[in-house]
Amino acid sequence: MRRHDLLAELHRLLAPRTYLEIGVNVGGSMTLSRTRSIGVDPYFSVDREIMCDVHLVRTSSDEFFARQHPLAHFDEPLIDLAFIDGMHLAEYAFRDFVNVERFCHPGSVVVIDDMLPRDVPEARRDRSVPSGKPAWAGDVYKILGTLRELRPDLVCLEVDTAPTGVVVVLNPDATNTVLVEAADDVVESYVTPDPQDVPAEIMDRSRAHDPRALLDLPVWGELAAARTLPTDEARTRVGEAVRSLR
Ligand SMILES: C[S@@+](CC[C@H](N)C(=O)[O-])C[C@H]1O[C@@H](n2cnc3c(N)ncnc32)[C@H](O)[C@@H]1O
């Protein structure tokens, strides 16, 4: 299954009230949204029909989140579904996740693209170096280790999508400050010269879920239902729904 097919299914199963996309490019993934949406990309050049109420913001994700009310296009500053697919360097994806989580509720779902590079050249930080492959995943895979180490409360699901794999993050917590406090050290650790030391389990996808099997689980309906609950109740319900996925 390709990453856009997974994303389309998540839109269908979750029926999100809001969708935030970081990295729009020509609009391929934005065409999947039918809900109130925001797309952020300093260089977007949309060349296809978009069928949702979208605010396209021509700026970097860092500048976007530094704004006073970045989600003013939504009725409430809450993200039900996010797709992080901007700059493919770990420090950018890390900051994107931290910023997205500030606007999440327990039932929110965050999809991060390019998390399972298939080989070391595909995971290079320097895109200008030819790798002989069309895809450039970069080293965003590094944030998976950070999330698992520092945030065991999150459920991070590796998913075997083409071409470069995604991670779906469940059970976010907008009140958790652990990542913000660790940010300087974490980001410094990411900036290492190529070639990157990509873990074998990332490249061979031995921990990755089959996307169809994952989509068939009842958890998506539970997450959508949790959105209508007060935060404490939602956290309990989501905790129960994701327990079997840990
Ligand atoms: C892989 S493309 C996005 C593809 C799109 N999500 C899709 O699936 O159809 C990555 C995009 O991220 C954008 N980008 C690069 N740096 C960025 C940043 N700092 N903030 C937001 N977007 C960024 C690029 O301009 C590029 O269009």
Q: Is 23 in the pocket of ligand 1 (CB under 6 A)?
A: yes
Query: How far is the C-alpha of 54 from the C-alpha of 39, rounded, in Å?
Result: 7
Is 130 exposed, middle or buried, given 0-12, 13-18 or 19+ CB atoms closer than 10 A?
Answer: exposed
Q: Which of 26, 43, 64, 65 to mutate to test the pocket of ligand 1 (most atoms within 8 A of CB)?
A: 43
State the closest ligand 1 atom to the C-alpha of 45, by its place in the atom list counted from 1: 27
Residue 217: the pLDDT is 96
**Ligand 1: centre distance to CA 154 (Å):** 25
Nearest to 147 by CA among 209, 93, 82: 93
State the closest ligand 1 atom to the C-alpha of 44, by its place in the atom list counted from 1: 27
Query: How far is the C-alpha of 188 from the C-alpha of 208, rounded, in Å?
Result: 27
Residue 40 has pLDDT above 80, yes or no: yes
State the closest ligand 1 atom to the C-alpha of 21, by its place in the atom list counted from 1: 6
Query: How far is the C-alpha of 246 from the C-alpha of 207, rounded, in Å?
Result: 12
**Ligand 1: centre distance to CA 25 (Å):** 5
Q: Which of 24, 33, 49, 65 to mutate to test the pocket of ligand 1 (most atoms within 8 A of CB)?
A: 24
Query: How far is the C-alpha of 83 from the C-alpha of 166, rounded, in Å?
Result: 10
- Percentage of the chain beyond pLDDT 90 is 96
What DSSP assignment string belongs to 30-85? GGG--SEEEEE-TT----S---S-EEEE-S-HHHHHHSSSTTTTSSSS-EEEEEE-
Nearest to 101 by CA among 65, 149, 150, 69: 65
Task: Count the neighbouring beta carbons within 10 Å of the beta carbon of residue 126.
Answer: 11
> Residue 146 in 3-state DSSP?
helix
Q: Is 41 in the pocket of ligand 1 (CB under 6 A)?
A: yes
Q: Is 85 in the pocket of ligand 1 (CB under 6 A)?
A: yes
Q: Is 64 in the pocket of ligand 1 (CB under 6 A)?
A: no
Closest C-alpha to ligand 1, atom 18: 60
- For the stretch 74-98, pLDDT in tens is 999 999 999 999 999 999 999 999 9
| Backbone conformation region of residue 169, classed left if phi is above 0, alpha if psi is from -120 to 50, else beta | beta
**Ligand 1: centre distance to CA 87 (Å):** 6
Query: How far is the C-alpha of 222 from the C-alpha of 242, rounded, in Å?
Result: 9
Check residue 196 and report its DSSP letter: P
- Which domains are delineated in the chain? 3-245 (3.40.50.150)
Cβ neighbours of residue 54 closer than 8 Å, sequence gap 6 or more:
30, 33, 36, 37, 38, 39
Residue 133 has pLDDT above 80, yes or no: no
Mean pLDDT for the chain overall:
97
Query: How far is the C-alpha of 209 from the C-alpha of 227, rounded, in Å?
Result: 25
**Ligand 1: centre distance to CA 240 (Å):** 34
Closest C-alpha to ligand 1, atom 23: 86
Query: How far is the C-alpha of 170 from the C-alpha of 245, rounded, in Å?
Result: 10
Residue 118 has pLDDT above 90, yes or no: yes
Nearest to 118 by CA among 3, 5, 6, 199: 199
Per-residue pLDDT, averaged over 121-150, amounts to 93
